Amino acid sequence: MNLPNLLSALRLALAPVIVLAVLQGNFPAALGLTLAAGITDAADGALARRFNWITRLGAYLDPIADKALLVGVYVALGVSNALPLWLVGMVFLRDILILLMASVGYLVYKVRDFPPSLWGKVSTILQVSAAVLVLTAKSFPQVALNGIVLAAIALTAVGTAWSGAHYIWIGVTRLRQLRRTSPRSSH
């Protein structure tokens, strides 16, 4: 266990604490902890690359911590009516589709590499930004952020839908290529 893996583990441990803070209406605490979790995300990646502290554990732990945090925050914000449930559903649906396609690729064709696309990264940035803006607006209601929050929600919805469609296109294209080159397809 190296420092980047410890930072990922810390982020994973923060996820339920942040969710609890949101559900209890303690938005300032949730915002502060979310920002701290974001710092651990940036730091673990930078340290792993800079010092070549890249491990198999880190390759699994980092994305699991990221997804646990993002999904947990979205569900908590949805349950607390701070985010529309349709957006929470979109984020879930996109991730479930990606997971299903990756599972088919792995189980049927033994594909193990599922690199994120540019649009997937953009979508994640939009999702994180929207969550942070909502937490900020709830933490500081005296600051008029409603227009910015609504714009962030709209951009997040568009980005999530676009990246989901893009992942489906990539997945279908890749699975078709694998089917053509698979020894099973010649039977």
Q: Helical H runs in 24-145?
A: 27-50, 56-79, 85-109, 118-139
> Same structural domain for residues 78 and 122?
no
End residue of a domain, out of 33, 50, 82 = 82
End residue of a domain, out of 82, 106, 135 = 82
> Same structural domain for residues 95 and 177?
yes
Per-residue pLDDT averaged across 13-42, rounded? 97
Q: Which domain holds residue 4?
A: 1-82
> Same structural domain for residues 180 and 102?
yes
Give the integer Cα–Cα distance in Å for 141 and 138.
6
The pLDDT tens digits of the residues spanning 34-82 come to 999 999 999 998 999 999 999 999 988 998 999 999 999 999 999 999 9
- Total number of domains constituting the chain: 2
Residue 111: pLDDT above 70? yes
pTM across the whole model: 0.88
10 Å CB burial of residue 161 (0-12, 13-18, 19+) is middle
> Same structural domain for residues 72 and 89?
no
pLDDT at 187: 47
For 22, other C-beta atoms within 10 Å of its C-beta total 29
The pLDDT tens digits of the residues spanning 135-177 come to 999 999 998 899 999 999 999 999 999 999 999 999 888 888 8
125 vs 104, residue with greater confidence? 125
Residue 24 DSSP label: T
Instruction: Judge whether 72 and 19 are in contact, CB under 8 Å.
Output: yes
> Same structural domain for residues 100 and 73?
no
For 121, other C-beta atoms within 10 Å of its C-beta total 11
